[in-house]
Amino acid sequence: MIRKAISKKTRFSLGFFSVLALLLGYTLLSDYQHRRNPKDTVIPNWGQLGEGVQKIVTPDRFGERWLLVDAQATGLRLFLGMTLAVALSLLIGIHMGCFPKFEALLYPSLSLLAKIPPTAAMAVLFVIAGRGYALHITVITFGVLPTMAMAVYLAVKSFPDELQFKAYTLGASHSEVVWTLLFRFVLPKLIETTRLTIGPAIVFLIASEVAFESSGFGYRIRLQYKLVAMDVIYPYLAVLAGFGFLIDHLLRRLERRLCPWSQHR
């Protein structure tokens, strides 16, 4: 029978097995490559990877620890970009959901903007926003805002009329309906959408760092790629994966903390 429940133990061991198989496959592949060319750097063996990790955590000749510098730069850019996107999407989404005039005004242009791939529009954004933080924040916001604003707007629309009417019979003012009731209703949806869009946001950010930046994960990866230094790139990818996990975990905890009533956990 399909969709039959399995025990926790089975689930865990199967998951463990899949990761193990991944690592084992890599080991075999790199071993095979090194037998043909002992100096290979495309598929570094575990020893080379260890050296790569050494390289990124110890200070280079300018006294910079790469990982630290890059994580700081990329993290701050991502944080600023996402904060702006969340704030704007909340503002736009709530207005669109509450006022049909806003809805009629913004809906067409928003869905049009959503169709333009931000990585393709990067050249334009580069001309408009210039270099540095402004560019990255613009790219992230441009990339995720349409999706997020639309999600907030739909969440506002799904707020039952009955609850709105009821709020008025309980003596609520318009602003109270929006900011003490609607806002709380929309909050879990907002956090969830943030969780889903943080992946694309990282993609856009890394792309803009690869193209225009002299610090950050994207910049480092481009530099090391030219040197075929995969021993540095693989640990960076691992760090990025960890980074994604951490953010996702934090957002999930935030949702559980702020919206214990939400059923999607």
Residue 82 has a CB neighbour count (10 Å cut-off) of: 22
Nearer to another protein, 156 or 247 (CB): 156
Per rule CB under 8 A, is residue 184 in the interface with another protein?
yes
Per rule CB under 8 A, is residue 160 in the interface with another protein?
yes
Tokens of 163: 């609850």
Q: Specify the stretch interacting with another protein by CB under 8 A; choose among 76-84, 88-96, 145-153, 173-181.
A: 173-181
Which positions ≥6 away from 92 have C-beta within 8 Å? 106, 110, 145, 149, 152, 153
Per rule CB under 8 A, is residue 170 in the interface with another protein?
yes
Nearer to another protein, 115 or 264 (CB): 264
**Integer Cα distance of 148 and 196 in angstroms:** 9
Nearer to another protein, 133 or 159 (CB): 159
**Integer Cα distance of 59 and 173 in angstroms:** 58
Q: Judged by CB under 8 A, which of 9, 61, 100, 263 binds another protein?
A: 263
Nearer to another protein, 177 or 202 (CB): 177
Per rule CB under 8 A, is residue 176 in the interface with another protein?
yes
Spacing of C-alpha 241 from chain mean position: 11
Task: Confirm if 185 and 129 have CB atoms less than 8 A apart.
Answer: no
Q: Specify the stretch interacting with another protein by CB under 8 A; choose among 27-35, 140-148, 181-189, 235-243.
A: 181-189
Tokens of 265: 């956990």
Residues engaged in binding another protein (CB under 8 A): 160-163, 165-173, 175-176, 179-181, 184-185, 187, 259-263
